[in-house]
Amino acid sequence: MTIHLSATLMHNSDLAPRKHILPVAASSGIKPHLLENLQALNYSHLLYFWAVARDGSIARACQRLHLRQPTISMQIQKLERALGHRLFDRSGRKLILTDVGRTVFEYADEMFSLGRELLGTLRGLPGKHTGRLHVGIPTFLPKIITYRLLEPVLRLQPGIQLICHEAELNELINDLARHRFDAILSDRPIQNTIGVRCFNHLLGESDIAICGTASLAAEFGEDFPNSFEGCPMLLPSLATEMRRAIDRWFDDRDFDPRIVAEFDDSALMKEFGSGGAGVFPIPSAVVPQIQSQYGVKMIGRLEGVCIRYFVVTTERKLTHPATLTIAQSAKRVLDSQPNRN
C-alpha cells in the first residue's frame, strides 16, 4: 500500500542547527502563491523534501544523499517558498508533515517511482509496470473480499501495479473527487453530493453466513436460526452496511441478539471468533477461505440478507483495463455458495 505519513515524526536531534530549523517561521518569506509553471518547480528541492519525509529524519536523508544538514534544510525552505505552503509543522520538539506536505509527498513519491522505472527500462531490467491502479478501500470492507476482487488485476499482462489506500469512506470519496484514486471498492452505493459526482458499478452480491468454532456450531447449529436466541455474537460496527442488514433481519424476526463485541475491523472480529468468543457474520462467498484460515465452521445462512459490492468511479462507463477486469471477475468471486459443514 502507498505510504501515508500522517504520523511521520522527526526528533529535534535530527534537525540542523536552529538557524536552519524547519518549518520556516512566518518571517521566512513564504507567500500564498502557487507556481505559475513547471519550469519554476525545482525537482532537486522536491527530491530533498521527499527523502526527508520518506526516511523520517534529516540525518538519514543526509546520509543517503551525501549532503550536509544545512544544505538540505535550506533547499526545503526554498521549496516551501516556491510552493507557498509550509510542508512541516512543529509539534513540541518534533516535526510533522502538514496536510499540504502529505499531498506533496504522495505526488513526489509517484514521480520518483516513475523515475526509477524509467532508469530500469533504459537498463533493460525486467518486471517494469506499464500502468497503475489507485484503489480506495474503506476500513470496514472485509480484507478477504478486497483481496479476491483485486487479485485478478495482478495477473494482467502487461502488468499493472496496485496501489491500495485504506481510509474512512467519506475521506475516500473526497479523494476520488480530486482524482487521487481511479476507483473505490464499497459495499454500498455512494450518493452524489455537491462537488462529488461518481458512478456506482455493481459487481455482484453475496448473502451472509454465520460462522463459529466447532463447539459453538454444535451448540447452536442444530435448529438454526431458531437456536440463535442467546447465542454470543460478534458483529461489525453500526456504521457498516453488513450490520444494518443484520439488524433488519433481527427486527423482522423479533430476535434479541446477545452481542458480546462490535468491531470496525473485520479481521479482528474473525480473530475473536476463532478464539471462541462468539459466532460472527461473513460474506458467503468467502466461507471456504475463512474456514481454512481460522479453523471455524459455517453454522448457517441469514436467508434474505445480501450484501452488494460496487466499484465506484468518476466515469459513467468503466474504461480502465484494471477496473474492467475487476468487474468481469467479480461474478465468479461473489457467486460462491458453500454448503454448511
What DSSP string describes 177-202? HTTS-SEEEESSPPPPBTTB--EEEE
* Alpha carbons 158 and 148: distance in angstroms, whole number: 20
For 314-327, what is the mean pLDDT?
Answer: 90
Distances (CA, A) of 235 to 211, 264, 277, 296: 12, 9, 11, 16
pLDDT top residue among 175 and 217: 217
DSSP state of 42: -
What backbone torsions phi and psi does residue 230 show, to the nearest 5 degrees?
Answer: 85, -5
Q: What is the pLDDT of residue 329?
A: 92
Please state the length of the chain.
Answer: 341
What backbone torsions phi and psi does residue 298 show, to the nearest 5 degrees?
Answer: -85, 125
pLDDT top residue among 196 and 206: 206
88-111 pLDDT, tens digit per residue, is 886 665 667 898 988 898 888 888
Question: Above 70 in pLDDT, residue 156?
Answer: yes
Q: 11 pLDDT band (50/70/90 cuts)? A: very low
3-state helix, strand, coil in the chain (%, to 5): 45, 25, 35
Question: Above 90 in pLDDT, residue 325?
Answer: yes
338 Cβ contact partners less than 8 Å away, ≥ 6 residues apart? 209, 284, 287, 288, 298
Q: What is the pLDDT of residue 114?
A: 78
Q: What is the pLDDT of residue 36?
A: 60
341 Cβ contact partners less than 8 Å away, ≥ 6 residues apart? 291, 297, 298
Distances (CA, A) of 308 to 132, 163, 203, 252: 26, 23, 8, 20
For 50-75, what is the mean pLDDT?
Answer: 84
Q: 224 pLDDT band (50/70/90 cuts)? A: confident
Residues 103 and 243: beta-carbon distance below 8 Å: no
Question: Above 50 in pLDDT, residue 6?
Answer: no
Strands 131-138 and 183-186: parallel
Residues 140 and 166: beta-carbon distance below 8 Å: no
Q: 14 pLDDT band (50/70/90 cuts)? A: very low
Reduced to 3 states, what is the DSSP secondary structure of residue 318? coil
For 179-187, what is the mean pLDDT?
Answer: 90
Taking the model in full, what pTM does it have?
A: 0.63
C-alpha cell at 330: 467479480
* Alpha carbons 315 and 335: distance in angstroms, whole number: 26
* β-sheet bridge partners, residue 262: 235
Residues 312 and 199: beta-carbon distance below 8 Å: yes
Which range (76-80, 213-217, 224-228) has the least confidence? 224-228
Q: 281 pLDDT band (50/70/90 cuts)? A: very high
For 247-259, what is the mean pLDDT?
Answer: 88
Strands 94-97 and 9-10: antiparallel
Q: 139 pLDDT band (50/70/90 cuts)? A: confident
